[in-house]
Structure formats: structure tokens, C-alpha cells
Structure 1
Amino acid sequence: MLKHILRIAIALVFIASGFVKAVDAVGFSFKLEEYFSPAVFNIPFMERQALVIAVLVVVLEMVFGFLLLIKSQLKFTLSTLIALCVFFAFLTFYSAYFNVVTDCGCFGDALKMQPWQSFWKDIILLIGLLVLYFLYRKDFNETEQKSNLKKYLSAFAFLAMIFVISWGITHEPIIDFRDYKIGTDLNIEKQNIAENPSQFKTYYSLKNKKTGDILEVNQDDYVNEKKYWEEGSPWMIQDDKTTSKLVKQGYESEISKFKPETADGIDLTGEMLKAPKAILIFSYNPKQADTEVLAQAEAKLSQQKDALVMGISTNPNTFKTINNTMMDGTAIKTIARSNPFVLTLKKGKIVDKMSAEDYIKQKN
């Protein structure tokens, strides 16, 4: 009885993990790009294959999670999931130990996990899978009974998975777990961030010139302890090792990074959030954006006489017929996955968002 409960529980974890990444495979590919970047594993040629790898990982999680749930091909299924867990554990340990990727994306944007939390989650899953392998080892050679129910369930699950993944890639995620979901009021979010900000403290690395001892002291203790800074003190600050650490987590929201500016650095956030209606077209990578789609979207946007229309990208010359503003590419990626895409605000509230291709096809 217990082994069946454990099997179902682990299967559901893999299915849930795969599903939240499946609805936003493009977002998961952005996370993989972080791992492939020079700052982490330094394999930049893999960045071009990030989306393919993301889809492959998602399919493996969902397919083998489903096979474990229906107790099919147990030996191969458990072996594959164990291998996946070992791979994920390595990634999350590397992220946690070297502090290079702050969120592994294990559960997409639905559930953010710190690197060490992700690592221990993988270890617990790995232990659970090893226990299942041991408990079910006598069943590996039994002839599996095929049933029409299993066939129909498998076919339905596979088709549903393909639909969810492809829709998220060609349009936008069918379920939006991000901070910028439709209905979000950016003004309220900005207010919440301002009222409950995160607090940081500066930590100094001090070296004793006489003994060679090294001590880390926060900014308050440094000021209060005269021995660290008085004339003749042996303690010297190592400027290159001064760090800033989070001491109080405030209100968390990706909307804190929403700050469109002109090429001269003039902040236009307030103007956009106060407008009765604002239609914004974004591109996080103008060089890879379809120029024809951009042109058609701009032409349609130019006809909007009752709205504030702005183009937001990483390049001050992306848009030819509407005003250009700039924003960090990573911040743009957190809003939507299409390149380019269109966001509609009414007094700062998100009322619509879609790929530029869908916007062009939309009837006025």
C-alpha cells in the first residue's frame, strides 16, 4: 500500500513539474540559457538549442511521470527518472554552491525555489525513486497487462501535452503563472514594492595587518566598533571583497523591473501607467524579430488614435514609425515570451497581451 502511495506521489510531482514548464517552454529555455552562459558552464553554442532541450526535458518529465503513475514499463521508467534526478541534482547543487543561478526554474513561475531548496527537493525525489526501484524490483519481469483505458489515457495525455507546449511556443502560455498576468494592476504592484522594500546591508572584509586574520563585519558593527577604524587600527578594509547582503525580503515582484526609458535616460513609466489606454509593443531581441511582423504591427498600432502607443526594446532604433523606448532584455522576457509581443494597459492595469502575430490578425 505504502509503495503505491509513494509511486503516485512522486509521479504527480514529475507531472506537475513538467506541466508548469510545458505551458511556458520558452520561459524554461531562458533559464537553460543562463546555465549555458559564460558565467555558469560557458557553453554558449548550446544557447541556440535551449528551446529544443527545454522541450525534451519537459517531455521526459511528463511522459515518464505519467508512465510511473499508470505503473507502465516500471524498470525503464524508474531508471530514466533516477537519471533525470541525478542530472537535476547536479545542476541545482552547482547553482546553490556557486550561487550562479538563483532560481532553477524547476516549477517554472508557478513556484519559485531557492537553489538549496531545489537541490534538497531533487535529493528527496532521488531517494524516493531508489526506494521504489527496490520495492518494485520483483515486478520488473512480470508481463504487463495492456488495457484500452491505458491506451486511451496515454493518447489523450500525449496529445494534450503537445497542444500545451506548442501553444505556449507559438502564442503565449495557455496558463500564465507570471507577475504580468492579465488583470494585474502595475500601479498597485509598484505601490506594494515601494511600501515594503527589501533591505540590504553592506559587509566589509577586514584584514588584520599584524596577524593576517580576516574578518567579515556588517556596516553597523563597523561603525559602532571604534577598533576597526580608529587611527592606528591594524584592520584594513579589502575593497574588492565588500559585499551587499539581503537582510529583509520585501515585496517580491518582477514588476519592479518595469522601467521603460528614452535613449536619453528619461523614465516614461509614470506616463505609461497613468494613460487611460496604452498599447505597448515589445521586443527583447530586435535582431531576431521578424521584420515583416514588426512592420505590420507598427502599421496597425499607428492607427490607434485613442491610445498611447510606444515601442519598447533593447535597441533605440527598433521601431520606425512609433516612439522608441528602452528596457532591459531580461526584464522584457519576464512580461511575455513572444518576440515581438503587444501589451495593452488601461490606467496601468493589464487588459490584454499577445504575440504581435496574433495582434495583427485580431480584428479591431
Structure 2
Amino acid sequence: MNRAVLNFSRIFVGVLFIFSGLIKANDPLGFGYKLEEYFDVFHISFLSPFATGIAIFLCVLEIVLGALLLFGFWSKKVTTGLLGIIIFFTFLTFVSAAFKVVTSCGCFGDAIPLTPWQSFSKDLILLVLIVYLFINRTKILPVTQNPGQQKAGLIGVLAISVLFSIYTYSYLPVLDFLPYKVGASIPDAMKIPEGAAPDVYQILYKLKNKATGETKEMSDKDYLKTEIWKDNNWEIVGQPEQKLIKKGYEAKIKDLVISDASGTNYTKELIENPYYNFLVVAYNLKDTNEDAIGKLNAMTLDLTEQFNIRTVLLTSNSAQDAGVFSKNHKLLAEIFYADAVPLKSMVRANPGILLMKNGVVVNKWSFRSLPSLEKLKAAYFNK
């Protein structure tokens, strides 16, 4: 019985750590953005420039520790490492849940969104299992006692996890779980279906009795049902509080608004363009790859002249900064503006490129993997 429990704990924890690490390693930039949220909450924003590097390190660490636990190699060191990690993350998710500082933990990336309380519950289960493994660490048997094979296993897992993380960082996630994935219709993702359930709210009033000084809190329904409003001794104090009771249907894309420098909304015009068009996403012009911008500028000229294809650059920078950037780089693309959050979700690159047609994402690339003009012509425009 004890052996069965030990094996179950080892396999469950090992597989979950590998899965969690791989899901985040599939999108290290996205995990880095999530870490930046935590850095801001805990007032350690000086770490933000290193967020992506820290994200890749944590992904690799999870995968390696999970694999070594399954292999049974160096059980004392591995269980100690797992215990340290899970104590840290259990504390982190508890703080996030209790104080509502981060709405989504990012434990499984965008593949399986968890609320902070769900994530905390998951970490509590893992904590119990890992404590059990730590107590029984000497009973974990390795699949091989050969030191050379053990080192080879470590090097192999380490190399695969590092290379995979670097690949997805450089050339976009292998699996895209975001609403702007290839084949997605952005206009459809922004719509709320007819008849979909709306959010349900409750209005809370704070009441005070002018005669006795007694105070109470009452919902809007109870306020009307009890007819307390007829009693002149009771008065509403302060502003009513609106509380979400039940979450209704939420559009997959709810925060995308594209405007020009004057604030005019161009979202519908740009997103629903019935012809091929390029969206160049450079959410932060200060950090964007300038060599890539130069190459895209030359491609924009050719595509406009040969195929009358509209190319726009989307950024979250100010119109003033974008104007200076455009002048310095002699940009041919039109510049429009949107919040950084949806731009980061559109494509995990700076700059990244979306090929759109009639609101559908035909394809998208990191600036490192954008095909040549000739390949684009053959694949899309000469057909």
C-alpha cells in the first residue's frame, strides 16, 4: 500500500510539473508578462527587464525536476527542490487570491486559465504530496543506478527543455491558445451572441438610523422588499456598492480598440478589411527590433505597389513617440494605437506580423520567421 501511494505521488507530481513547465515554455513571453504583474504587485519592478529570462529558467526548472522525479534520480535533492518551489508558489497564490492582486495565476499559461483560489487549491494538493515524497525520499528508487546514464538523462532533459523554450521565444508558440490564433475570426471573437447571459450584479446600500445610530448593510432587493425606505429614520450613507454575483458570457476578445492619433475609432475598418492586409504589431517601440522594422518597411513598399496591400503598424506608445519613430525610420505603414494588453496577445513578438483577410488571421509570424517577399507572393498573393 505504501509503495502504491509513493508511486502515485511521484508520478502525479512529476507529470504535473513537466506539463506545467512545457505549457509555459510553449509561451515564455506570455509567462514573462505574467511575472511582470507579480513584480509590480510586490514592488520589485526592477526585475521586469529580466522577466523573460526568469520565465525560461522557471519553465526549465519545472520540467527538469519533474523528469528527475519520474526517473528517481537524486531523490533527496529533487524532493528538496520541489518542496522549496511549492512552498513559494503556495504562498504566492494565497496572496494573489486573498488580496485579489492578480486575477489569473498563469500556472498553466493560457491553455488552462485558473483563478487564484483554484491555483491555491491545486498548490495545496501538490504541497501535501510533495511533503509526503520528501518524508519518504529515501524510498524512491531510480530507474538506473549507473551514474553515467543518470547524468546523460539530466543533460538530455535539460537540453530539450532549454532548446524548446528558446525556439518558442524566437519563433512564436508551437500551440497558440490565444484568441488571435491562425484561423480565428477576430470580429466573431469580439461579439457576444444574442441571448447570452449577462453579468448579474447586486447593489448594496449602507444604511444608518438617525435616531439610534445603528448601521446596517442591505441589498437592493431587500431594501425594496422590506420597504425600509418608507421609514424616515433610516438614510442611505455614502455611495451604493455594486457587487458581481454571477459572471455572464464574456467575449473572447473584449479589450481591443484601435484608434488613430486623434482618438477616432478604426477598429472595425482595420479588422474587417475584406482584402489581404498586414498588421505589424510593435507594442513597445522602444524595445522593438529596428532591423526588422527596416525590412518590413521595404516589404511594405513592394506589397503596396504590386498588390495594393494595406500595411498598418499597431503600437501602445504615444502619438508623439510614434511620430518620432516614424520619422527616424521613414515608415511607410500607417500608424494606429491600441492598449498594450491586446497587442501582446495578438502575437508574441516585437514586432510581430499578422496577415489578415476579412477579419480572419490567415497567418502570423515573429519578425525572425517572416517569409521572404517571394514566398509570400507564391503562398498568398499570386494565387
Q: Does TM, normalized by the shorter one, top 0.5?
A: yes
1:1-364 matches, cutoff 5 A: 1-37=4-40, 40-138=41-139, 145-146=145-146, 153-192=153-192, 196=196, 198-201=198-201, 203-209=203-209, 210-217=212-219, 219-222=220-223, 226-228=227-229, 230=230, 232-239=232-239, 242-245=241-244, 247-253=246-252, 255-276=253-274, 277-305=276-304, 306-315=308-317, 316=319, 318=322, 319=326, 320-359=331-370, 361=372, 363-364=375-376
Deviations 1:283-304 (A, max 9, x none): 1111221333223213312332
- The CA deviation at 1:202 is 5.0
How many pairs align?
357
Contact 2:71 2:143 in 1 (8 A): no
Q: State how far apart, in whole Å, the 2-side matches of 1:34 and 1:89 are.
A: 17
Structure 1 residues not aligned, in runs of 5+: none
Contact 1:17 1:107 in 2 (8 A): yes
TM (norm. structure 1) is 0.89
- The CA deviation at 1:182 is 0.8
* SS at 1:334 equivalent: helix
Root-mean-square deviation (Å): 2.6
- The CA deviation at 1:153 is 4.7
In structure 2, the CA distance between the partners of 1:36 and 1:223, relative to structure 1 (3 Å rule), is: farther
Matched residues, percent identical? 28
* SS at 2:262 equivalent: coil
In structure 2, the CA distance between the partners of 1:4 and 1:225, relative to structure 1 (3 Å rule), is: same
Q: State how far apart, in whole Å, the 2-side matches of 1:271 and 1:225 are.
A: 52
* SS at 1:288 equivalent: coil
Structure 2 residues not aligned, in runs of 5+: 377-383
Contact 1:28 1:54 in 2 (8 A): yes
- The CA deviation at 1:231 is 7.4
Q: State how far apart, in whole Å, the 2-side matches of 1:193 and 1:246 are.
A: 21
Structure index of larger Rg: 2
AA at the equivalent of 1:21: K
- The CA deviation at 1:172 is 1.0
In structure 2, the CA distance between the partners of 1:139 and 1:342, relative to structure 1 (3 Å rule), is: closer
Q: State how far apart, in whole Å, the 2-side matches of 1:265 and 1:284 are.
A: 17
In structure 2, the CA distance between the partners of 1:167 and 1:213, relative to structure 1 (3 Å rule), is: same
